Amino acid sequence: MQTAIEVRRLGVHFRRNRRGRRTFKDLFAGASRRSRPGEFWALRDVSFSVQPGESIGVVGRNGQGKSTLLRLVAGVLLADEGDVEVHGGVAPLIELTGGFVGDLTVRENVKMTAGLHGMSRAEVAARYDGIIAFAELAGFEDTPYKHLSNGMKVRLAFSVVSQLDEPILLVDEVLAVGDKAFRDKCYKRIDELLADGRTLFFVSHNERDLRRFCTRGLYLDKGALVLDAPIGEVLDRYNADYNTR
């Protein structure tokens, strides 16, 4: 069976500040010159594969590379080392404002964002009322997106992305925003997607959510993959490490 996601010796590095940008000459220099002061590896030598239908929870403290990994899988960030292969489309819930335009209305944003993700006009029209109803934005359809509260933006983003037919769903902490009633509705929708055979890649600090949705965990620490195991084992190891620091 073809894997859903294949990650091989993945690495990406960033600058701690914007000063001392690379020169054009640096692009053709050796590795020692390319690794300049102030740079750090957010991820290094990370390898794993994900089978279709698996539910993966990514675990680790803040700043250990979890969200960076999701962005690499989503294709919005390029690796400096190694590679990522994704077999099938991706429905990303990794940035609240990603794909939405502040000056466009809710109605216009739904049509544009769904269209950019490959949904036809006919499909958008058929699902539009359901998207608005799920997001609880009836009466706000002609409101500019920039005037929505953060909670409204989360509801709209989740509602649009969860309607996509892509086989892989990426979720990065967005469910931490919003009231309990809406979170419960989102959880039910994720349960439906998993029952439909979707692949889930889920970043969260909520242990209860990780245990509910995920069967397997990836534990990242200092940019390295420390443990790839069943989610319960990964969470136990993470909690043990955290409590000893």
pLDDT at 21 over 50: no
Q: Which residue has the tokens 């994720």?
A: 190
Distance CA 189, CA 158 (A): 10
Q: How far is CA 189 from CA 61, 89, 148, 183, in A?
A: 27, 19, 23, 10
For residue range 46-85, list pLDDT tens digits in order.
Answer: 999 999 999 999 999 988 999 899 999 988 889 999 999 9
Mean pLDDT of 31-46: 73
Percent of the chain past pLDDT 90, that is, above it, reads 58
Average pLDDT, the chain: 87
The H-or-E segment that residue 181 falls in is helix 180-195
Helix (H, G, I), strand (E, B) or coil at 81: strand
CATH topology of domain 1-88+202-245: Rossmann fold (3.40.50)
pTM listed for this prediction: 0.82
**226: enclosing H helix or E strand:** strand 224-230
Q: pLDDT per residue over 170-187, tens digit each? A: 988 766 656 788 888 888
How much of the chain, in percent, has pLDDT values that exceed 70?
87
- Mean pLDDT of the region 92-109: 83
Q: Which of 73-77, 90-94, 162-166, 227-231 has the lowest mean pLDDT?
A: 90-94
- pLDDT band for position 25 (50/70/90)? low
